[in-house]
Amino acid sequence: MASLPAVLLGALAMTGQILLLREFAAQFYGNEMTYGLVLASWLLWGGLGSLAGDRRRIRAERIPYAYLGLVLIVPAGLVALRSSRFVLGTLPGELVGLGPALVFALAIALTTSLPLGLLFVANARRLEGDVGRTYLLESLGAAAAGIVLNFILVPRVSNMAAAVILGILIAVLTALSFRSRRSAALALAACAGLAVFAALDGPSRRLEWKPFDLVATRDTPYGKLQAVRTAEQVTFYSDKRKLFTSHDPASSEEAVHFALLQRPARGTALLIGGGAGGNLAQALKYPELRIEYIELDPEVIRLALRHLPAEDRAPLGDPRVRVVHEDGRARLRRSEGGYAFIVLDLPEPATAQVNRFYTREFFALARAKLAPGGVLGFRLSSAENYIGPDLAEFLATIRETLGAVFPEVAVVPGAANIFLASTRPLTRDPDELERRIRTAGLENVAVRPGLLSNRLSEARRAHLDRALEGGAPSLNTDLRPRSYFFSAVLWARQFRSVEAGLLKALAGVPRFWLLDAPLLLFVAGLAAIRLRRRGGGRVLIPVAVMGLTSIVFEIAVILAYQVYYGSVYGRIALLMAAFMAGLALGAAAGRARPATAARADLAAAQGGFILLLTAFLRLLKTTPPQAGLAALLIGFGFLSGLLFIAASRLYAASGERLGAGYGWDLIGSFLGALAASSVLIPLVGLDRVVIYLILANSACLLFLLERPPRKPSA
C-alpha cells in the first residue's frame, strides 16, 4: 500500500485538471486562450508547490487530510465557477474579459494544483526519496483516471457527478492505503461532503441563470448544453455560446434566404448548424429543395424536440429533411458533393473548433463539393453604422480567405454581415432580390420586399466595402487560425480592458521578437552555462525544455485533432491519458536501465523529441489518422518519462533537492501553455511553432552532447 498514495495523487491531478477545465470552458466562453490561461495557472502553481515542498514538509500523519481535502476541493471549484457571475457582478449568460478569467484560473489552481505539487515531494519522501518511482506511479494514476473519464464518465454523467464518483473512489482508497481510524473517519466525512455536492449539482446550475428559467442542461462530449427560457422564447447555448433562439424568424431568414435567392432553389442544400432554430423551416419554403441538416451533438435535437413549440419541431420530421449527427467538415469531406447550397449557421469563430469552418482549407473543400455555380453562405456579427478597425480587420480576413478560393464573393451589410461565395456572379441588388422573393412566393418577416431597399442601399454597401478594404487582411488557415485571435481581441474590446490593447499590440509584434529573439537568448544562455562546466542543477535545463516542449506538443496535437476531426472537448481526457500512459512507460523503462546509462538516456530522449516533432510536422501536411496522433502522444510521453528519470538520477547524484526536477518540469510547461495556445499558434502558425521547437531541442541536444570534464591525472 505504500505506493498507492502516489497513484491516487496522479488520479486526483487528472480528475481536477480535466473537470475544472471543462467547467471553466463552459463558464468563461472557453476558447484556446482561456484554455491556455487555465493550463498555465495549473502548471505554475504545481511547479511552485513542488519547489516549495523541499522547504515545507508535510508530516506523514497529515497526508490523508490533504488528500481528502483535495477530493472536496474539486467539486467545490465547480460550484465556485458556476457562481462566478455573482462575484463578477455579471448577468446570466454575459461574457467576461480575459482579466477576470485569469483571476479565477489562478485562484482555482492555487487551491488545487499547489497542494498537488507539495504532495508530490511528500510522496517521494515516503518512498525513501525515490523521485523516479513517485513520478512513475503518479503517471499511472493520471493515465487511469483519464481513461475512466473518457470512456465511462464524460459520455454519461455531468462534470459534478464525475467529480463525486471519482472522489468517493479516491477517498475509500486513501483510507485503505493509510489504514488508520482517523483516515477512515476522514474518508467517511469526505464521502458525506461529496454527497452534499452531488445534491448541489442541479441547484447550482439553475442558480447561475437566475432570474431566467434553466429548463434543461447536459454535459455532453461536445460541451455544456443548456436550454434557457425567457418569456416565450427558448435559447440554446453550448459553453455560453448561443446556438439559436426559438421564435426568431428574422435571424433564420437572413441566415438562409440571402444564399438561396442567388440561384433557383432546387437540388440539395447542406445546412451545418442552426436547423432546429428555424433555418430548416425557412429552407423548406422552397418546394423543390431537399435538405441535409448536420448537427454534431445529438442532444441538441433531443432537447429541441422536448422544449421547442410544436411549430418549431415540425420541420425536423419533414420527409425532405435528413438529419445527420456528425462533424460538418468530416461529413462534407466524405460526401459525394453536388450541393446546390451550403449554409453555415455556427457560433463566431472564436475557437479553433469553429474556426476550422472559416479557413481556406474548408472553403476549398466546400467549393469542391458544391455543384457548378453553387453558393456558400454564412453570417458573422458586425455593426450597421460603424465598423471599427479591429472588426474591419477580422471581417476583411474572412473575405480575403474566401476570395483566395472563390472568384465571386459578396458581403451583405447589416448587424450581421452575410458572406456569399460562388464560382458564378452573385447579386446584392435589392430590386432583383425583391423580385425573386415575389416570384418564389415567400412570406417573410425581415427578408422581404420593402425592407431590402434600405438594408442593401448603395450607401450601405459602399460603406461596408470601404471598411473591409481599409482592413489589413491575412489568410485564415487551419494551421494559422487568425480569426480566433481576432475574435479574442473583439471579445476583450467589449470590456474596455487592458487585455484588448495587449492582444492588439502582440498582433503587431514582428516574428523576430516572438520567436527568433527568445530562441537566440536561449542558445546564448546554454552557451554561458556550458562555459561554467559545473553544478548539478544544469541537468534541470533539459527537464524544463522537456516540460515546455511536451505541453506545446500536447496543445499542438489537440489543435490538430480539432482541425481534422472536430470537437476535442470529449477527447481531451483520452489524449491526455495517452500522453500520461507514455510517461509511465518511459519512466518504467528509465528505471529499468542502469544508473550509469543516465547521461546517454538523456541525450537519446532529447534526440527522440526532434524526430517525433519532425514526424508530426510531416503529418500536418496530410490528414493524420486519429491513432497516429494518439501514438505520437504516447511516444512523446515515453521520451519525457525516460528523460525525467535520467535527469533525476543525475540530479540526485549531486545531492540536490527532491522537488526541483518536477518543479522545473511544470514551470517549463507553464511557459509553453501560456505562450503557445494564447499567442504563438494563432499569430505565427502551428507548423512554424513546431519548427522552432525542433530548433530549441536541437540546441539542447548539442548542450547535452558535451564531453564530461576530465578527471585530473594522478
Q: Report pLDDT for 68.
A: 92
Mean pLDDT, rounded, for 394-414: 95
Q: How much is the pTM?
A: 0.86
Q: Report pLDDT for 714.
A: 44
**Quick check: is 229 in a domain?**
no
Task: For residue 591, name the pLDDT band (cuts at 50, 70, 90).
Answer: very high
**Quick check: is 189 in a domain?**
yes
Pair 643, 613 in one domain: yes
- Written as one string, the DSSP assignment of 48-76 is HHHHHHTTSPPPGGGHHHHHHHHHHHHHH
**Quick check: is 714 in a domain?**
no
Residue 336 pLDDT > 80: yes
Residue 37 pLDDT > 60: yes
**Quick check: is 235 in a domain?**
no
Pair 488, 514 in one domain: no
Mean pLDDT, rounded, for 485-510: 71
- List pLDDT tens digits, range 355-382: 889 999 999 999 999 999 999 999 998 8
Pair 675, 587 in one domain: yes
Q: Report pLDDT for 324.
A: 95
Mean pLDDT, rounded, for 539-565: 85
Pair 558, 666 in one domain: yes
- Three cell numbers written together for 213: 428559467
> The domain that contains 624 carries what CATH number?
1.20.1250.20
Question: Pick from 21, 17, 16, 112: which is nearest to 569 by CA?
Answer: 21
Last residue in a domain, options 493, 522, 538? 493
Q: How many CB atoms lie within 10 A of CB 76?
A: 18
User: Which of the 8 DSSP states describes residue 658?
Assistant: S
Residue 708 pLDDT > 60: no
**Quick check: is 237 in a domain?**
no
Pair 14, 150 in one domain: yes
Find cell 473517519 and name the residue.
185
Q: Report pLDDT for 441.
A: 94
Residue 245 pLDDT > 60: yes
Residue 179 pLDDT > 70: yes
Task: For residue 568, name the pLDDT band (cuts at 50, 70, 90).
Answer: low
**Quick check: is 48 in a domain?**
yes
**Quick check: is 194 in a domain?**
yes
Last residue in a domain, options 431, 460, 493? 493
What is the rounded distance in angstroms from the CA atom of residue 583 to the CA atom of residue 594? 19
Q: Report pLDDT for 510.
A: 87
Pair 160, 105 in one domain: yes
Residue 97 pLDDT > 90: no
Mean pLDDT, rounded, for 117-128: 88
Pair 47, 174 in one domain: yes
Q: Report pLDDT for 261.
A: 97
Q: Report pLDDT for 492.
A: 66
Pair 199, 115 in one domain: yes
Give Rg (Cα) of the chain: 27
- List pLDDT tens digits, range 629-667: 889 999 999 999 999 898 888 877 655 555 666 777 788
Mean pLDDT, rounded, for 390-396: 88
Pair 49, 145 in one domain: yes
Weakest-pLDDT range from 11-15, 20-24, 199-203, 409-413: 20-24
Residue 102 pLDDT > 60: yes
Question: Pick from 541, 552, 576, 546: which is nearest to 10 by CA?
Answer: 576
Task: Assess contact for 661 and 651: CB atoms under 8 A.
Answer: yes
Task: Assess contact for 677 and 36: CB atoms under 8 A.
Answer: yes
Residue 499 pLDDT > 80: no
Mean pLDDT, rounded, for 298-326: 92
Pair 514, 423 in one domain: no
Pair 544, 483 in one domain: no
- Residue 403 phi/psi, 5-degree rounding, is -65, -20
Q: Report pLDDT for 61.
A: 77
Average pLDDT of the chain, as a whole number: 87
> The domain that contains 262 carries what CATH number?
3.40.50.150
Q: How many domains does the chain have?
A: 3
Q: Report pLDDT for 489.
A: 73
Last residue in a domain, options 211, 229, 263? 211
- List pLDDT tens digits, range 428-448: 999 999 999 999 999 999 999
- Three cell numbers written together for 290: 431537399
Residue 604 pLDDT > 50: yes
Residue 185 pLDDT > 80: yes
Pair 53, 136 in one domain: yes
Q: Report pLDDT for 410.
A: 97
Residue 713 pLDDT > 60: no
Domain span holding position 437: 246-493
Sheet bearing 233-238, strands edge to edge? 213-220, 223-230, 233-238, 241-245
- List pLDDT tens digits, range 127-162: 888 888 998 999 999 999 999 998 899 888 999 999
Mean pLDDT, rounded, for 343-360: 88
Residue 536 pLDDT > 70: no
What is the rounded distance in angstroms from the CA atom of residue 316 to the CA atom of residue 407? 35
What is the rounded distance in angstroms from the CA atom of residue 391 to the CA atom of residue 248? 25
Cβ neighbors of 157 (< 8 A, separation 6 or more) are 165, 219
**Quick check: is 241 in a domain?**
no
Query: 318-357 burial string, b = 16+ CB within 10 Å, else e?
Result: eeebebeeebbbebbeebebebbbbbbbbbbbbbbbbbbb
